[in-house]
Structure 1
């Protein structure tokens, strides 16, 4: 029974309703909410009070935690003709910048169809005084989500493997067939990272906020891409991120322990940087 429960605990974070970036997005949004100015916090509540204007009762967005994964929740929604209602936004969740070539955000963001461009666009919509109420609540939900996506390294850089989805992986002793390097970082590794150490959701000193939120969306994008190279692929491929990828990789216990703080830092940075964007847009 103990072994069964242990395996179940590892499996549950990967179920659709409990995927890491539901938990991860919630954590990043809550960090941001705890670190924005009081006026920004009040403005966020006012905007989310219009959640009905999203027209997605299946995917509530009544608070920052719900709104932070709204953009994933709405992906399968279809209109009366059976067409995807939000298919236009699929490419907004990531940018496939090759980690083994010089960083090139421009070619990955043609017509704004990438995560970093959409972080900038949704923040601008949220800030603009003439944005309609419906567009404003949608922009806030997208921004809350995309700021999290930007700090998941495999949404910022990959090796032509769909953000690691095509690279099968084992996590420690646990290796279900449906694991890949992306789901490892989304699921059990992220669960461990967020729950290890003091609670991440708290108010941070001004000096910490200023240090970790320094820079802009472009520099954060490049940083996450570098983490994808230095941590994700290097750890999976024996230290050489650009070595040919095998059919399957294994992250042993020592590697997992080494990587968890890196992902924990990404979550914290994502939250404090989102707070900075929200203060600029709504504060």
Structure 2
């Protein structure tokens, strides 16, 4: 995605609603042991559900250090793989500072029962968030250094959001909001109850066979290559749908693009929720 501290665009992967939906799907699939430990960690800050903290990593990334933020974590949310490249390569993650490397590291911290609980809570919030991030196609691809589509201005059913709508934010929020009626309020506030309703709809669509295919038994035991595989899935979708279905001339998007993109967004949210539950169940076995 290439969002550095000097970038004008600060789009958030999936937006608050998408991240909440991923967290809600996962929460419904936790084992009793994992659910108990997640609840214990969340209670350290007075929270009860993972959707309440799912977007916290985005928030701290855009706050200056002297105000308690951590802008140095912005590269953790994505990995820039050229859309024409065959797949992820180590060179795409300079200094191991991208989602492909950070997500497994943070999952290990979460699963370390000897680590301070406050540190494990931070890791939990990051794991919840980054599993969502890596399933957004434009968090694993870019074309012509367009910062994961942030530099590609678009209109969507005639909407431009005062010139701020771009390909990345379209996939983060605009398509999801158009299809579900979910909205984002001032300061990126969302209606968690409404997001949970949409999560329930998506979760109910997931068949046992799909869940087993998306998160086969033993998957978290080899989380590093698994996370790479998730990034490669997103990269392939960015190549085959996100960029491939753009009009040949102009970037006015409507029904045709929506019909290609919305099914992808739905299944990536579902996959992220199932896989997040699998990671948490493995990290917090009892």
Please tell me the TM-score bracket, short chain as reference.
Answer: 0.7 to 0.9
Give CA deviations for 1:44-64 in whole Å, capped at 9, x if unaligned: 101111237xxxxxxxx5520
Q: Partner of 2:202: helix, strand, or coil?
A: coil
Give CA deviations for 1:87-141 in whole Å, capped at 9, x if unaligned: 2211001111101122133112233211121211111111122221111000000
Residue 175 of structure 1 deviates from its aligned partner by 2.8
Q: Which residue of 1 aligns with 2:42?
A: 48
Q: Which residue of 1 aligns with 2:231?
A: 221
C-alpha distance in 2 between matches for 1:49 and 1:276: 22
Change (3 A) 1:203 1:133: farther
Q: Which residue of 2 aligns with 1:7?
A: none
Q: Partner of 2:276: helix, strand, or coil?
A: helix
C-alpha distance in 2 between matches for 1:197 and 1:50: 25
* Counterpart among 112, 117, 123 of residue 133 in structure 1: 117
Counterpart contact for 1:78–1:84, Cα < 8 Å: yes
Q: How does 1:35-114 map to 2 (within 5 A)?
A: 35-51=29-45, 62-79=48-65, 82=66, 85-114=69-98
C-alpha distance in 1 between matches for 2:273 and 2:80: 22
* Counterpart among 216, 221, 245 of residue 235 in structure 1: 245
Q: Partner of 1:168: helix, strand, or coil?
A: coil
Q: Which residue of 1 aligns with 2:153?
A: 168
Counterpart contact for 1:150–1:156, Cα < 8 Å: yes
* Counterpart among 156, 162, 177 of residue 191 in structure 1: 177
Residue 211 of structure 1 deviates from its aligned partner by 1.2
Q: Partner of 2:245: helix, strand, or coil?
A: helix
Stretch deviating more after TM superposition (185-194 or 159-168): 185-194
Q: Partner of 1:158: helix, strand, or coil?
A: coil
Q: Partner of 1:235: helix, strand, or coil?
A: coil
Aligned residues between the structures? 250
Q: Can you give the 5+ residue segments of structure 2 that lack an aligned partner in the other structure?
A: 1-9, 182-197, 220-225
**Alignment pair present for 1:271 and 2:257:** no
Counterpart contact for 2:21–2:199, Cα < 8 Å: no
* Counterpart among 15, 36, 58 of residue 21 in structure 1: 15
Q: Which residue of 2 aligns with 1:33?
A: 27
TM-score by length of 1: 0.80
CA RMSD of aligned residues (A): 2.6
TM-score by length of 2: 0.79
Q: Partner of 2:53: helix, strand, or coil?
A: helix
Q: Which residue of 2 aligns with 1:57?
A: none
Give CA deviations for 1:180-226 in whole Å, capped at 9, x if unaligned: 10111112212245678971145955433211224621111110111
C-alpha distance in 2 between matches for 1:198 and 1:43: 22
